[in-house]
């Protein structure tokens, strides 16, 4: 299903859950509890807010719009630190022969130097993951080397250096920067802590994905406090797919395959590797090549994680590839709340889902898409704002200057 309205281009593929698939064991309720209890042992731990945008929900014709706001997570303006800290802790526990369920963060801090020495952590990032690894390394008294793709925003580089990491900007796109980080980790004898997987490298990416589930476990408790049993729809933005697959895997385990919410995966048109994998319809993941240019830099990935794809191919209801203008619209929607709704500061990657919903529910061009997903007045729609204004310059240009604005000739009115 292709939707075109002026310069806005949206492509969708409807799938539905695989009848033969079983919920992934790595994201069972028991495994998720291990990650959450570990994160709760941090002195600075605090559950991030689940914002209920009641007025916006009424305006768009759905029952509820819930936004898990990760912009305040550990003061780092993004969710990624959840995955990095859990993976590093699991690595240390593995060396000690311990179950992570039986230790806390302070114990890990006391043992890190003895078990790892001065060996650095190495990673590639578009910004948020690298900052999380750098922060975790500093907490443990370790070194961290972070490689970033070309044209990375200055503020994202500075944020990594502020947390103690060595930040090196390359002349490569994201996927090639990951390959470079692999080589450099071998050269310095460091530990590669990467949030995507490939053949022979799956354990650490799985730990990172498990770390992400802390925010989903928090959501379940927060919904219960608001009298909500579960969401009916979850919009999940995806780069390599790790976060999206982790949340999907947990919800399928938590609610059961038949009662799980509908999962909608959203990617940029220029980096839609999961969409293209679904389009191929051969059960394997496919890559997207090129510069991967998009304002959704956290999603600018052309090579999907195979362990993420194995989950998403079986439990996703719709894959969506969309225009940058939709992400910019989402940034503006969240920053300009209706009536008593709460303002949310969201980066482009974190806002694309809400931008898409706001178009789907108000424009006839999206009627078929809306009906296919059964989005109506009974729908409880959940989003994860995975980042704040991690690039303040671009954020300001979107809000103040109308950068990447929707067409003004009436097509979408």
State the catalytic residues.
80, 126
Q: Which residues contact 45 (CB under 8 A, 6 or more apart)?
A: 39, 74
Q: Which two tokens stand for residue 396?
A: 């300001």
- Give the distance, in angstroms, between the CA of residue 142 and the centroid of all CA atoms in the same chain: 26
Cα separation, 157 vs 169, in Å, equals: 8
**Are the C-beta atoms of 278 and 152 separated by less than 8 Å?**
no
- Dihedral sign, Cα of residue 237, residue 178, residue 144, residue 204: positive
């Amino acid at each position: 299903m292709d939707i075109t309205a002026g310069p806005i281009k949206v492509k969708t593929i409807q799938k539905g859950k695989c009848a033969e698939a079983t919920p992934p064991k790595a994201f069972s309720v028991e495994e998720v509890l291990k990650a959450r209890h570990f994160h709760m042992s941090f002195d600075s731990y605090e559950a991030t807010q689940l914002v209920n945008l009641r007025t916006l929900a009424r305006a768009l014709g759905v029952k509820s719009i819930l936004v898990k706001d990760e912009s305040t997570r550990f003061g780092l303006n993004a969710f990624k630190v959840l995955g990095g800290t859990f993976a590093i802790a699991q690595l240390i526990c593995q060396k000690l022969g311990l179950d992570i369920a039986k230790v806390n963060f302070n114990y890990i801090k006391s043992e890190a130097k003895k078990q790892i020495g001065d060996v650095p952590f190495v990673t590639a990032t578009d910004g948020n993951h690298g900052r999380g690894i750098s922060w975790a390394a500093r907490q443990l008294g370790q070194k961290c080397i972070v490689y970033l793709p070309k044209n990375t925003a200055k503020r994202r580089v500075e944020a990594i250096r502020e947390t103690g990491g060595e930040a090196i900007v390359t002349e490569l796109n994201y996927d090639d920067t990951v390959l470079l980080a692999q080589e450099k980790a071998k050269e310095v004898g460091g530990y590669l802590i990467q949030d995507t997987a490939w053949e022979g490298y799956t354990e650490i990416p799985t730990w990172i994905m498990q770390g992400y589930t802390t925010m989903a476990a928090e959501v379940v408790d927060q919904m219960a406090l608001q009298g909500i049993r579960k969401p009916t729809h979850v919009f999940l933005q995806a780069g390599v797919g790790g976060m999206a697959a982790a949340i999907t895997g947990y919800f399928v385990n938590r609610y059961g395959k038949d009662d799980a919410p509908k999962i909608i995966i959203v990617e940029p048109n220029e980096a839609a590797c999961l969409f293209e994998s679904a389009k191929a319809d051969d059960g394997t993941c496919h890559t997207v090549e090129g510069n991967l240019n998009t304002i959704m830099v956290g999603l600018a990935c052309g090579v999907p994680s195979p362990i993420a794809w194995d989950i998403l191919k079986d439990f996703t209801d719709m894959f969506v590839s969309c225009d940058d203008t939709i992400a910019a619209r989402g940034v503006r929607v969240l920053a300009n709340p209706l009536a008593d709704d709460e303002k949310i500061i969201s980066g482009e990657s974190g806002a694309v889902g809400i931008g898409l919903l706001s178009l789907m529910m108000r424009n006839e061009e999206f009627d078929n898409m809306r009906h296919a997903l059964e989005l109506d007045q009974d729908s409880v729609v959940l989003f994860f704002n995975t980042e704040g204004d991690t690039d303040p310059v671009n954020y300001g240009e979107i809000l103040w200057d109308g950068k990447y604005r929707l067409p003004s000739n009436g097509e979408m009115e």
